[in-house]
Amino acid sequence: MFYLILTIVLNVLLFVIFKLFARFRIDTLQAIVVNYIVCVITGSVFIGEFPVSMQSIMTPWAPWALVMGVCFITLFNLIGYCTNREGITATTVANKLSLVIPVVFSVFLYKEELGPGKIAGIVLAVPAVYFATRTKEDPGKKTHLWLPLLLFAGSGLLDTIVKYVEHSFLRDPRTQAAYTIHCFAVAALLGSLTVTVLLATGRRRWDWRNVLAGAVLGIPNFFSIYCLIRLLNSGFMQSSAAIPVNNIGIVLLSSIVAVFFFKESFTKQKLLGIVLSVVAILLITVSDIYGNI
C-alpha cells in the first residue's frame, strides 16, 4: 500500500510541475535533460554508489535499460508538450488509461485470464480516452487528437516493459534501483547530446532557470519509477490489478488538482470521458480481485 500511494502522489506531482513550466517559461527539453541527470544523482545517493560500469552494461537487463531510456526522454517530452497543449486532466487520462496495453500483454506473458469484466473495461477505455481528450476547436483549427493517442500507446508499451523486466530480472531493491539509474543515465546521455547540438547551432539559449526546474523535477521522477517497480515486485497486487488501481488514483487526484489549483474547466464530453475511464478501470480491477467475473 505504501508504494501504491507514493507512486500515485509522485506521478501527479510530475504533471503539476510540467504544468508550471509554461507559467514560468521553462524550456521543457533543457529541464528534462537536467532532470535525468538529477535522477542519476538522486538514485546514486539513494543506494550509496554510482552503479553504472562496464560490468553492469553486460547484465541481461542492460538492453532493456537502453530501450527504456529512449522511451523516457521521448515520452517525457511528449507529456510536457501534451500537458501544456491539452491540459493536465486530458494528458493524465490518456497516459494512465494506457493500462489496457499491459493488461492485454499480461494474458500472453503471464497466462493471466481475461474475464468478461476485464474485457468490458478494456473496450470501454477506448471511448473514455477519446471523450476525455477531445476539446472544442475554433473553426478551421487543426485537432491534436493524435497527441494523446500517441501518449496512450507509448505509455502502455513502457508499462509493459517495466513489468516484464521487473518480473524477469529485478529480484531485490538494490538491483531495482540500479536498473532505474541505468535507464535515466541513457536518457540523460541522449538528451545531453541533443541539447548540445541545439545550443551549438543557436536553436536554443541556455537559461539557469531550466537547471532549477530540472532539479525540482528529477527527484520525484526517480522515485516515481522506483516505487512503481517496488509496487509490482511487492506482491501486494497482481500486475493486472496494481496497474489499474495505480492509474485510477493518478487520474482522480490529478483531476482534483486541475480543478482546484489550475482552474481547468470540464466540458460535458471531458466529464463523460473521465466517468467512463473510472468505470473502465473499476471493471478491470473488480474482475481481477473477485475472479474472472
Tens digit of pLDDT for each residue in 3-20? 989 999 998 898 889 888
Taking the CA atoms of 105, 231, 150 and 93 in sequence, report the sign of the dihedral they define: positive
Q: 123 lies in which domain range? A: 2-289
Whole-prediction pTM: 0.82
**Strand extents, DSSP E, the chain:** none
Split into its structural domains, the chain has a count of: 1
Q: 277 with 125: CB under 8 angstroms?
A: yes
Residues 6+ apart with CB under 8 A from 177: 43, 46, 47, 51, 226
Amino acid at 3: Y
Concatenate the DSSP letters of all residues of 7-39 into one string: HHHHHHHHHHHHHHHHHTT--HHHHHHHHHHHH
Which pLDDT tens digit goes with each residue over 179-200? 999 999 999 999 999 899 999 9
88 confidence band (pLDDT: 50, 70, 90) = low
Q: 9 with 253: CB under 8 angstroms?
A: yes
Cell of 243: 496497474
Q: Specify the higher pLDDT residue, 201 or 235.
A: 201
Among 33, 145, 139, residue whose Cα is nearest residue 80: 33
